[in-house]
Structure formats: structure tokens, C-alpha cells
Amino acid sequence: MPSAVANVYYLGRKVGRTATADNRRAAFEYDSTWIADGFSISPFYLPLEKRVFIADDEPFNGNFGVFDDSLPEGWGRLLIDRLLKKQGVNPASLSIVDRLLIVGSNGMGALEYKPENRLVEKSANETLAALAKETEKILAEKDSNKLETLVKMGGSSGGARPKVLIDFEKEAWIVKFRSSFDPRSVGKKEFAYSQAARLAGLDMPETKLFEGKFFGVKRFDRQGEKKIHKLSASALLNASYRLPSLDYVDLINAALTLTRDFAQAQKLYRQACFNVFAHNRDDHAKNFAFLYDDNRWSVSPAFDLTYSEGINGEHLTTIDGEGKNPTKENLLSVANKIGLNINWAKITIEETKKIVEKTKILKRLL
């Protein structure tokens, strides 16, 4: 199984290639034809120039952030490793390149990796309820005869919670199931958060409660058959998503540098306000993203919004240095340091606070 090189593609065009350098860290170089008329897939750390880049040891274990975004986390990695062991392969023996080739053309965003190593060729049609029961078996470390199906439908997904990627009404969706630690109402709660966020003016993807309990979100890295390049804030800024590593001042300033558009900064600021008032402290660096389409960068729609205590009761992205008990003054300071209109910021703060307070299910949680 070990592979030396993964060729990186975007919408059928070769971007470059990545390999494992010094037995651990990833190396990457752009293809000459891509340099001629392509774009930087990670503007701050992989500028569009002809040289060999070597990844830092941290925060992505020797990988580049843009490629780390393609790799499954939590649930997806658990599935992949379980299947590898079933096939007699030690997961610890795999390099970054090996794991990218397993992702192949099935990752989040638009990047694809070749030659693809398909662990599973096809999957059977299953109901969401049946798949949810199989995820419970996996989480309980029991055998599942649907492991291959779960890998095919969710082995490329990020995040800790079990999920599957489905087609619904000819569009690509993500459907989440509860983890071992989630209440049975977790799907309804996340759906309520998505509704409140939309009312608060956040740019939200379409959401749906499947079968009355499974939270689903329409993928914003897909437009029909077209794949959209997606880059997390973690990857953009080389920032850890496992520990607090960002402040909203830094995050929104980075968005301004990338997009050169104050409207995009306002989108993130409104999301910061919502996260403060709706008690979403799981606002780590991978829960913000940027999209590249039509030759420009933009802030992605908001996602993964839910009630969370974060780490030690603190926001993973601080608000002007405050993580435990951020106030209106902290939010206004963020706006001032970014250069946003203060009157607009005051109105946004008050509007967001009122909408969160009026949302019934959020009132019970808060």
C-alpha cells in the first residue's frame, strides 16, 4: 500500500504533487502549467511560485493545512482505520500521502488525489435509521456488517460526530447522527440553532431535520456537479483547531486580507456575535472556512453552530482576548480594531442578542 507521491488535481487539472520528505513531513510543488494560470490553493503558506515547499511539524503533524483539510477527522478516521485493520493493514504504517490517496476524489472541497486507493468500491442503499444504528455499534467498539457502507458514505468526513454524505433531491448533503455522549435531541437542537442563526442574519446553507431527528445540511462545497475549493481558517492561518489558537480580531483581519471585502468581514463579525450570545464556544479554527470560486475568495456560510462549553468553559476563538465571559464591550473592541463601522456593530450586537433570546429552544438551553 505505501505510496511515494500523490498528484493533486482541481476540476480535472493537475495542481502539483505532494510527497513525504525526511520520512515524516510533507513536501509540495506546483505543476509548471498550474503556475502559468492557476491560483494559490493556500495563499498564506503555499504562494503560487516554482519551488518545493516543506510543511512544518505542527500544527498538522507534518502536513500542509490545505491537504489536512481533505483528511477525515474523528469519525471518518475511525472508520478508515477500522476497515484497514479488517483488511490486514496497520493504520500506523500509513504516511500522509497514503491517507490522501485513500481520500482520492471523495474529500471535502475540490482537491482530488491520484492514483486513488479505493478501499471500498460501492455501497448499498440504507435508510438513515439503519445507518444510525450501525454507527452506534462502531462507537461501542462492536462489529458492524455495514462498515464498508459507512466508509463509503462517511469515511471522508470531518468532525467528531458520526455522519454520512448523501444525495437528496439531486443535491449533496451531510447528515449527522448522535455520538455516544450526545442527548437524543441533539439533531433537533442543531436544527434550531441553524434556524436562529438564519433569523439573526447569518449566511446559512439550507438545513433540514431528516426523519424528525437527524440534522442535515446542504453542502456549500458543491454546486450541482461542480466542486468548490474550500480552505479552513485553520489551514489558511496554520492554526491548531484542537486548542485555542485564534482571536476574532486575527480571524476577521485575515478574511479582509484574503477577500479584500468588508462585506466578508461583516459576515464573520455577525457570526462572532451569534456564537457569543448563543453560547457556541466550539468556535475552533476549522469551524470557519473560505471558498474559492469565480476567481475570488469569500467567507463560507456558517456551519457547526450548536450549544457548547468549549474547552474549560472558554471560546476556542477568543473575543478581543476574552474567552470565558465575553461582553458587548469585547465585541465592540473587535469591531473597532478591524475598522468596522461602530454604529453598525452596535446594531448587529443588539439584533443578534434579541433574536437568540427569543428563540424558544435556545432560551431553554441558555
| Domain limits for position 349 | 227-365
Q: Are residues 182 and 284 in the same domain?
A: no
pLDDT surpassing 70 at residue 255: yes
pLDDT in tens, 50-72: 999 999 999 999 999 999 999 99
Residue 328 scores a pLDDT above 60: yes
- 263 and 336 fall within a common domain: yes
- For residue 176, give the amino acid letter: K
200 shares its domain with 253: no
**pLDDT classification of 156: cutoffs 50, 70, 90:** low
Task: Check whether 75 has a pLDDT greater than 70.
Answer: yes
Give the pLDDT of residue 32. 97
364 falls in which pLDDT band (50, 70, 90)?
A: low
Q: 366 falls in which pLDDT band (50, 70, 90)?
A: low
Whether residue 144 is contained in a domain is answered as yes
Q: What is the pTM of this model?
A: 0.93
Comparison of pLDDT for 346 and 161, the residue scoring more: 346
Is residue 218 domain-shared with residue 237, that is, in the same domain? no
Q: pLDDT digits over 281-309, tens only?
A: 999 999 999 999 999 999 999 999 999 99
Q: Identify the residue with better confidence: 357 or 63.
A: 63
Look at residue 172 and tell me if it is in a domain.
Answer: yes
- The answer to whether residues 108 and 173 belong to one domain is no
Whether 240 and 180 share a structural domain: no
Residue located via cell numbers 497514503: 98
- Tell me the C-alpha distance between 72 and 103, whole Å: 8
What pLDDT, on the 0 to 100 scale, is given for residue 24?
82
pLDDT, position 299: 98
User: What pLDDT does residue 96 have?
Assistant: 94
CATH number of the domain at 175, please: 3.30.200.120
Whether 176 and 98 map to the same domain: the answer is: no
Q: Are residues 327 and 236 in the same domain?
A: yes
Same domain for 95 and 16: yes
Domain membership of residue 120 (yes or no) is no
- What is the mean pLDDT of the segment spanning 126-141? 87
More reliable by pLDDT, 148 or 298: 298
pLDDT band (50, 70, 90) for residue 180 = confident
The span from the CA of 169 to the CA of 208, in Å, is 12
Q: Which residues contact 73 (CB under 8 A, 6 or more apart)?
A: 158, 159, 160
Mean pLDDT of 20-24: 79
CA-closest candidate to residue 332, choices 261, 272, 292: 272
In SS3 terms, the chain reads as CCCCEEEEEECCEEEEEEEEECCCEEEEEECHHHHHHCCCCECCCECCCCCCEECCCCCCCCCCHHHHCCCCCHHHHHHHHHHHHHCCCCHHHCCHHHHHHHHCCCCCCCEEEECCCCCCCCCCCCCHHHHHHHHHHHHCCCCCCCHHHHHHHHCCCCCCCCEEEEEECCEEEEEECCCCCCCCCHHHHHHHHHHHHHHCCCCCCCEEEECCCEEEEECCCEECCEECEEEEHHHHHCCCCCCCCEEHHHHHHHHHHHHCCHHHHHHHHHHHHHHHHCCECCCCHHHCEEEEECCEEEECCCCCCCCECCECCECCEEECCECCCCCHHHHHHHHHHHCCCHHHHHHHHHHHHHHHHHCHHHHHHC
Task: Tell me whether residue 136 is in a domain.
Answer: yes
Of 168, 190, 222, which residue is a domain's last? 222
User: Looking at the domain assignment, is residue 119 inside a domain?
Assistant: no
What average pLDDT does the segment 300-321 reach?
95
Averaged over 273-285, what is the pLDDT?
A: 96
Integer Cα distance of 197 and 243 in angstroms:
25
| Average pLDDT over every residue of 136-155 | 82
Alpha-carbon span 285 to 250, nearest angstrom: 11
Which residue, of 73, 89, 114, is where some domain finishes?
A: 114
Report pLDDT for 23: 66
Are residues 84 and 167 located together in one domain of the fold?
A: no
Q: At 33, list the grid cell.
A: 502549467
Q: Is residue 123 part of a domain?
A: no
In this prediction, residue 168 carries a pLDDT of: 94
Work out how many domains the chain is built from and give that number. 3
Q: What is the pLDDT of residues 77-114, one digit of tens each?
A: 989 999 899 899 999 999 999 999 999 999 999 999 99
Do 154 and 208 belong together in one domain? Answer: yes
Answer with the residue of higher pLDDT: 345 or 182: 345
Distance (Å, whole) CA 25 – CA 67: 12
Q: Is the pLDDT of residue 76 over 90?
A: no
If you search the block for the grid coordinates 453598525, which residue do you land on? 344
Report whether pLDDT(155) > 80.
no
- Does 2 score more than 60 pLDDT? no
Grid cell 461501542 is found at: 140
Same domain, 192 and 261: no
The packing angle between helices 74-86 and 128-139, to 10°, is 80
pLDDT-based confidence at 122, cuts 50/70/90? low
Q: Determine the longest span between alpha carbons in the chain, in angstroms.
A: 62
Closest CA to 257 of 137, 159, 339, 190: 339
Nearest in space to 163 (alpha carbons), one of 219, 124, 103: 219
CA 219/CA 160 separation, integer angstroms: 17
Last residue in a domain, options 222, 242, 271: 222
